[in-house]
Amino acid sequence: MPTIFTKIINREIPATIVYEDDLCIAFRDINPQAPTHVQLIPKKEIPRLVDGQPEDAALLGHLMLAAGKIARQLGVGDAFRLVVNNGADAGQSVFHLHLHILAGRPFGWPPG
Ligand code: DGP
Residue 22 host element (H or E): none
Determine the distance separating the centroid of ligand 1 and the alpha carbon of 37, expressed in angstroms. Answer: 10
Cα–Cα dist 33/31, whole Å: 7
Q: Is the pLDDT assigned to residue 112 strictly greater than 90?
A: no
Cα–Cα dist 64/70, whole Å: 10
Averaged pLDDT of the chain? 98
pLDDT in tens, 29-70: 999 999 999 999 999 999 999 999 999 999 999 999 999 999
Whole-structure pTM value:
0.98
Cα–Cα dist 93/110, whole Å: 21
Cα–Cα dist 64/61, whole Å: 5
Ligand 1 pocket member 36 (CB < 6 A):
no
Query: What is the predicted pLDDT for the residue at 1?
Result: 83
Ligand 1 pocket member 65 (CB < 6 A):
no
Residue 65 host element (H or E): helix 57-73
Q: Is the pLDDT assigned to residue 19 strictly greater than 90?
A: yes
Q: What is the mean pLDDT of residues 69-88?
A: 98
Query: What is the predicted pLDDT for the residue at 31?
Result: 98
Query: What is the predicted pLDDT for the residue at 96?
Result: 98
Q: What is the mean pLDDT of residues 94-108?
A: 98
Q: What is the mean pLDDT of residues 5-16?
A: 98
Under 8 Å between Cβ of 26 and 40: yes
Ligand 1 pocket member 53 (CB < 6 A):
no
**Catalytic residue list contains 100:** no
Determine the distance separating the centroid of ligand 1 and the alpha carbon of 109, expressed in angstroms. Answer: 23
**Could you tell me if residue 90 is left (phi over 0), alpha (psi between -120 and 50 degrees) or otherwise beta?**
alpha
